[in-house]
Structure 1
């Protein structure tokens, strides 16, 4: 009646963004393989499924002409549905067992209402299973009664029996100490997927894939998966280094000591590492490595390191996790007097996950070209030679993996007079197109796309065309599809928006001093130029309604994601370095606010982030631990300035003069979970305040102590620091210039700022700037915490980046639900159905719904208020994404006005959801999620299993400069 459903040399393909009824192509060459019950492996063949299901239908319904037509169409749809499950699950190929295919056929029959055929199919499977069992019981027992004997293919092509004892040891080690994780479950499923002659590497792959599929049911499997991946890493690296051919985690307690010296010598020999690393006491440093810290990694974190960070030769990664952290630590300690002790100190901090350096530092510390800095800011002058010189600087900085922020405001506008040619300018946009294409051409050393953000002040005549740069319509020669853009907004413009007044646009060559003015001085001069224009004394200008321009800015932000909105006066009036120059833009991720000047100052910043979660001890912030972390972190950041490779001399000179660094934080949401505080609450806003106050206090203190040890930065005299004005004090300067009715920012404080203020005036500062909160998307992945200051995106989703796709489930939620007896397969399905949201799942108690609200369920005012509290302590800015559900013009208007009114310096991406959501058809329930308007859901025919929702790309893996 039936035939066994096997598989295909023609892999079906589906669009992963559509439901399971997407048409499946059976013509593409397949990468999916099927293990038959006899252990042989065959290509996946969807036609075998079609034949088997057709026979099942014919056995039940007969072969009449009327039945035949219906059967043909039904079987076709069922086959596509089953094939789509595997092509989505294994888009890049993989191996499945024959039983998995039959399971999916059974499920598809049930879901489409073919209950009679399904019953017959189930009975058929049971009958044949009994027959196979009876046959097997008559066969002689193999050596290992649990699993059949399997031979594996070794690297040299020879075969040997699979070492089951070692395999059990590896899996047992991977699960040790993890609650609700079963080593037997991993081993049983992995062994089902192995076949005679499988490569040794594929044995490990089977273990890893098996463990990672269990993550959505129990988050602790992510640690087990990472530990299983470690077995592959150890074999690859230790064999290459000649230390061992393989090792268990237990073996690494003594092998790490031998691995570090072998690694440094091999890296220097291959001209991948700086020979200066050989001058360290490698034996002492090797013994300082802590093998058990390999157990801290999540699967996403370790896979990210393996794919993108570990040093390799001919695609062989020979850098192990603890060796990696020590290499970075050594690279940051090379100029220390007691370099071995400092390297161990830096290593312990990094490997503990209490603090993490930014990606450029992790990539390049200890290498022959240590480009460790994250961000570069430049000003483009208004002459042809200078414009192309600035674009050349972009190319050189981008070549060595720097993220760029360009101030384009000085470049004259479209129609402006050009004296040298007696002609008219084409404006700033054509040059932006060149800068855009340069970023594409010089793609960060061949590793990632170039990343640049262009800034333009709101009074520039070309501002309206600037807003359109990211549109997909219009003249493509005046579009920049690869470049980020940002508005540099003066306070006067925002006042005109609030008061519904007109706004005048000028060409910068007619009003050259506006570029360098801010606060009241800007307002007075701007109004002077408006008067001249009104009197007919200026040829080129345009008057618009400020509110209309504001609406277009918000409209483009919603439509294209750009330009971002940043605030010129808050950045300048609160800058410690306003005596030494002007902040003309922020950087690629809007957290850096440093002075630039065409031809003289290219600002540079070095980043690193405190892991706030690691500093919550017994439900509260551990101030002593935080202080120790910050002191070491600031020292590491200061070291970067002297060690760093600068591809442009102007950047080197500027960085040496001012020595700015940017200490930030990540894991804010995790820290709230640890304290049982919902993100959308007064308590969360208060914690944002107190935690940032502590970081600010200890960072300023640490930089002042470094000034005693190493000397003040050269432009300290005359700075706000020198005047005894700390970041918290500088709010008064903003209020005075803006006017108190246009700002509302909390100024409360708890720590002893008076004594610190006196210390700074007496001892000075080592760094002109010390704090900036970067996005941290990638280093947060490495350390396994929520990125930066972000709320949870979703409680269950698939995260996509350059390392692949990873199921991310909120472990705090899962463990809370387990404690209350609510975690089961139905709950998993509900979370998938509601796209990671808990709000409409009736079984979940209200207190958990509040605690586990996702980013779009937290009102924007909470995000802005928490950011405002942090901003009062920060001498630079913060990368602040805004999440708005049910987005409308009114909501955007209120949110961004509030951001300015609360004293924020910058905003970053807008993440908006429309007012209604699309209906779903890939769930096992019979009704749809309600659209956000609250309209009743309509029942639909369920079409397949619920899929884990995919996240939008919160972290852009093409640029990791600030991450």
Structure 2
């Protein structure tokens, strides 16, 4: 075996088969390697290629020397290793030699070069023994005098005492953690002249590696990141090098807060109005101890994407961040300091979290705080390209978009102005797709849009193919989400195995605005016209065949999603002033749209897990949370920065908000309730009933204080028809709806208040995915079951080990948490089902998403839907999918009265990788994701991969 263990000591000669094209993977020259003796040398990826080539030759023999296969493997593996080492900014620009070798080993395992990898592991162990025998135990670097390089280039002695103190403080008060392994790993990565940034990163990275052994190291990692952030922020606002421990921040936070606001105003990042608040009063209200509530994933996410910065220097600390958001939401209140403190307390406690656009932009010069925008596209060039322009303007400040494309005439339709034929809706969807990529939400995250099309549109079959990886790429939208807007009549035809006719909307324009019985009457009339030869463009298909194709595309590409037009409209409080033509990017918003009205929704989510106390839902705390949250959301309507007038007009007229929830799975586990159970469905029912009751009541209170929303008269609210009552309307239009009707609260008294006092908001509830804000709060996403109990989550901030802390606690209590259990969890991809020594009650309580029958997800969603005036982002999971199962699942969703569904998730799209790393049999390393069309021989197609860094739902 060649000397592959010393990758960066191998000769720098270019690998025999490494082509010049590989030079594109060479990183910038500032990347460096720490040798085992502490010396630092430049990082040269060519040496990795040389070592890999020798490794293949050593295992496969000299006959492989001229192999194109070996050349291609080496080039690909080298690129993968370099990418893994350099893609994360927060991983630093200096790598230890052992880290490089670990990545080489992982790359070979991932590439399924198992023989080479196995030999490589054995060789590393052999070389380690030889070094130990020849050199003895290496000198502890802590005993030598090392220097640290400051930002200005000066070198000062490395303060070992402070390093020890900071790590000890980070571990204080946490069970089952110790500073020792963190310090040991940190010292291994120190070298003379180490940069100050690298020194601050070293203990963070050391603590992160221990999370899978003990979940509390996630808190340790966050606290170590806080130390780095404090140095960065304090130095920026004071203009000189500053450091502070967490203990010192109790006295530092108030003074820092004033400096922070002033610095933000001077940098033109914070609204000047915030400087007119009583900053001393607000600074005194900050709760520094709440900085300790973050887990690493949450704080790193805030650091990477939310905290204000200048030239990459963050100057916003967590409690200042929450207060800045609160001030921005309270800016028009009468006693705005008191309200800002009230809002701050709610946010910083994690009882409630505002949506990402609100967190990004509140208190800034452009306070675009709304999450979702829904538009209808007109059937003319001016309207189409105005819609594309509107998408760009709305996306610029972090809005997610839902476009209703149904009015645009289909392929082959007549164009009167030119006497030609239309190319249909697809080419314009391609333009919208490319616009979403070009305007990437202000450079903070990928632009995101979802296109909706009704099932009767003549272009529906091409629409289904938009996400395929084959065919004419000019008629594909690889980055845009798509969704079917399905009328009940179509589902009835599917049930009856009847025919279905496709039309171009220029010949059947009334269908777009109709639903229920009126839609059926008009649709059948158009079918009669088509049969009589009075319709130019139409096509008749078997409804079941089209339905199967819809499910097949969902199977293969993950799109289009299935959403239901009629329940969205029949149960809409606002049917008297318009029609719901689509949902939004995440399928939870159901608001009216029109040519002159762009729907806007302002979102936030209650952390349900925080409202479980003494084995029950804490109703009093929940009522307080919801009351304050509704006030914050209503304030958004007036404060919001609107990029287009149609959005402002719509939002001020209707004032819709979307209060949702997150941490549902955590709440169940705190209550010791298995997700796949009637008890879980009952809890979904009762918890949503309480949220609904308090949200509607809070909107009534706001109406009494501030006045009703402008279009209240004639709404279902004005008639005393609450969401629970609107089920009757759906039942009348579609007999046989299978929805539970139980209730426990005093709804009649609330009905009377709604009728007489009115509502401040046309819509009050919607359950969003909460993919990012749940990470911030450290709870499970939205209403989701746990994906796995042990996995690596990938998002735009990188890869993070996630361990179910409650499971670890329960296993420890029963004496079952050990190296073997950890290895088994990794081997079985975070599932307990096949681990024999785990008791059945724990297997049921901690069953993962793919172990739960999706019927339970739909049952729980149906119980919630009866209380919600909008919809919910409902992901469905299938471990072993088939056409029959998908058919039954989506028909059940329709029959249970759901308004929408979201992503279809599959098990085999993601998996935990196992490596042969010494001492870590089955070590968890990363989640491998696959989206798009199915690969040949794959068990599953393109259903959404869990934690796709580019997926809006996963962010």
Match of 1:591 in 2: 588
Structure 2 CA distance, aligned partners of 1:733 and 1:947?
A: 51
SS in 2 for 1:406: strand
- Shift of the alpha carbon at 1:609? 0.4
Map 1:687-706 → 2, pairs under 5 A: 687-706=683-702
- Shift of the alpha carbon at 1:678? 1.5
- Shift of the alpha carbon at 1:687? 1.0
Match of 1:710 in 2: 706
SS in 2 for 1:577: coil
Q: How does the TM-score come out when normalised to structure 1?
A: 0.88
Match of 1:866 in 2: 860
SS in 2 for 1:241: helix
Match of 1:648 in 2: 644
- Shift of the alpha carbon at 1:147? 3.7
Match of 1:678 in 2: 674
Residue pair 1:10, 1:27 contacting (<8 A) in 2 also: no
**Residue of structure 2 aligned with 1:538, choices 518, 535, 538:** 535
SS in 2 for 1:455: strand
**Residue of structure 2 aligned with 1:127, choices 123, 127, 133:** 133
- Shift of the alpha carbon at 1:91? 4.9
Residue pair 1:7, 1:46 contacting (<8 A) in 2 also: no
Q: Deviation string for 1:14-44 (max 9, x for gaps)?
A: xxxxxxxxxx999956887554454322356
**Residue of structure 2 aligned with 1:831, choices 822, 825, 837:** 825
Please give the root-mean-square deviation of Cα atoms over the aligned residues, in Å: 3.6
Higher deviation after alignment, 663-672 or 99-108: 99-108
**Residue of structure 2 aligned with 1:500, choices 497, 502, 514:** 497
Structure 1 CA distance, aligned partners of 2:119 and 2:679?
A: 50
- Shift of the alpha carbon at 1:452? 1.4
- Shift of the alpha carbon at 1:183? 1.2
Structure 1 CA distance, aligned partners of 2:627 and 2:105?
A: 61
**Residue of structure 2 aligned with 1:629, choices 621, 625, 628:** 625
**Residue of structure 1 aligned with 2:355, choices 351, 355, 358:** 358
- Shift of the alpha carbon at 1:907? 0.6
- 1:659 is aligned to 2:655: yes
Match of 2:753 in 1: 759
Residue pair 1:11, 1:45 contacting (<8 A) in 2 also: no
Structure 2 CA distance, aligned partners of 1:617 and 1:11?
A: 63
Match of 1:40 in 2: 39
Match of 1:442 in 2: 439
Higher deviation after alignment, 870-879 or 812-821: 812-821
Residue pair 1:5, 1:101 contacting (<8 A) in 2 also: no
SS in 1 for 2:859: helix
Higher Cα Rg: structure 1 or 2?
Answer: 1
Classify 1:721/1:189 alpha carbon distance in 2 versus 1 (closer, same or farther; 3 Å): same
Map 1:14-53 → 2, pairs under 5 A: 28=26, 33-43=32-42
Structure 2 CA distance, aligned partners of 1:440 and 1:809?
A: 33
- Shift of the alpha carbon at 1:870? 0.7
- Shift of the alpha carbon at 1:290? 0.5
Aligned residue pairs total: 912
Classify 1:899/1:102 alpha carbon distance in 2 versus 1 (closer, same or farther; 3 Å): closer
Higher deviation after alignment, 851-860 or 893-902: 851-860
Structure 1 CA distance, aligned partners of 2:312 and 2:598?
A: 36
**Residue of structure 1 aligned with 2:610, choices 605, 614, 618:** 614
Classify 1:333/1:11 alpha carbon distance in 2 versus 1 (closer, same or farther; 3 Å): farther
**Residue of structure 2 aligned with 1:303, choices 272, 297, 300:** 300
Match of 1:936 in 2: none
Q: Deviation string for 1:416-463 (max 9, x for gaps)?
A: 222333332222222222222222333323333322111111111111
- Shift of the alpha carbon at 1:5? 5.5
Match of 1:257 in 2: 254
SS in 2 for 1:251: helix
SS in 1 for 2:246: coil
Structure 2 CA distance, aligned partners of 1:418 and 1:350?
A: 54
Residue pair 1:799, 1:808 contacting (<8 A) in 2 also: yes
Structure 2 CA distance, aligned partners of 1:106 and 1:336?
A: 59
Structure 2 CA distance, aligned partners of 1:480 and 1:2?
A: 48
- Shift of the alpha carbon at 1:415? 1.8
SS in 2 for 1:777: coil
**Residue of structure 1 aligned with 2:900, choices 897, 902, 906:** 906
Q: How does the TM-score come out when normalised to structure 2?
A: 0.89
Structure 2 CA distance, aligned partners of 1:91 and 1:843?
A: 41
Structure 1 CA distance, aligned partners of 2:9 and 2:575?
A: 67
Structure 2: 5+ residue runs without aligned partners?
Answer: 13-21, 107-113, 930-944
- 1:948 is aligned to 2:942: no
Structure 2 CA distance, aligned partners of 1:455 and 1:3?
A: 58
Map 1:158-197 → 2, pairs under 5 A: 158-197=154-193
- Shift of the alpha carbon at 1:278? 1.1
**Residue of structure 2 aligned with 1:809, choices 803, 807, 825:** 803
Residue pair 1:576, 1:769 contacting (<8 A) in 2 also: yes
Residue pair 2:325, 2:358 contacting (<8 A) in 1 also: yes
Classify 1:79/1:184 alpha carbon distance in 2 versus 1 (closer, same or farther; 3 Å): farther
Q: Deviation string for 1:887-912 (max 9, x for gaps)?
A: 11111101100000100000111112
Structure 2 CA distance, aligned partners of 1:281 and 1:694?
A: 36
Higher deviation after alignment, 347-356 or 512-521: 512-521
- 1:746 is aligned to 2:718: no
Classify 1:826/1:412 alpha carbon distance in 2 versus 1 (closer, same or farther; 3 Å): same
- 1:880 is aligned to 2:879: no
Map 1:255-654 → 2, pairs under 5 A: 255-598=252-595, 600-654=596-650
Classify 1:101/1:423 alpha carbon distance in 2 versus 1 (closer, same or farther; 3 Å): closer
Structure 1 CA distance, aligned partners of 2:355 and 2:921?
A: 42
- Shift of the alpha carbon at 1:269? 1.2
SS in 2 for 1:250: helix
Classify 1:888/1:202 alpha carbon distance in 2 versus 1 (closer, same or farther; 3 Å): same
Residue pair 1:151, 1:162 contacting (<8 A) in 2 also: yes
- Shift of the alpha carbon at 1:259? 1.0
Residue pair 2:374, 2:402 contacting (<8 A) in 1 also: yes
Residue pair 1:6, 1:45 contacting (<8 A) in 2 also: no
Residue pair 1:861, 1:895 contacting (<8 A) in 2 also: yes
Residue pair 2:369, 2:602 contacting (<8 A) in 1 also: yes
Structure 1 CA distance, aligned partners of 2:849 and 2:127?
A: 45
Structure 2 CA distance, aligned partners of 1:760 and 1:441?
A: 45
Structure 2 CA distance, aligned partners of 1:546 and 1:54?
A: 57
SS in 2 for 1:840: coil
Structure 2 CA distance, aligned partners of 1:115 and 1:645?
A: 57
SS in 2 for 1:496: helix
SS in 2 for 1:722: helix
Structure 2 CA distance, aligned partners of 1:47 and 1:382?
A: 56
Q: Deviation string for 1:490-514 (max 9, x for gaps)?
A: 0010011011111111121222211
SS in 1 for 2:901: coil
Structure 2 CA distance, aligned partners of 1:265 and 1:435?
A: 40
- Shift of the alpha carbon at 1:266? 1.2
SS in 1 for 2:247: coil
Structure 2 CA distance, aligned partners of 1:125 and 1:181?
A: 31
Q: Deviation string for 1:846-873 (max 9, x for gaps)?
A: 2222222211111110111111111010
- Shift of the alpha carbon at 1:47? 10
- 1:731 is aligned to 2:727: yes
Structure 1 CA distance, aligned partners of 2:104 and 2:727?
A: 65
Structure 1: 5+ residue runs without aligned partners?
Answer: 13-23, 57-64, 137-143, 926-941
SS in 2 for 1:415: strand
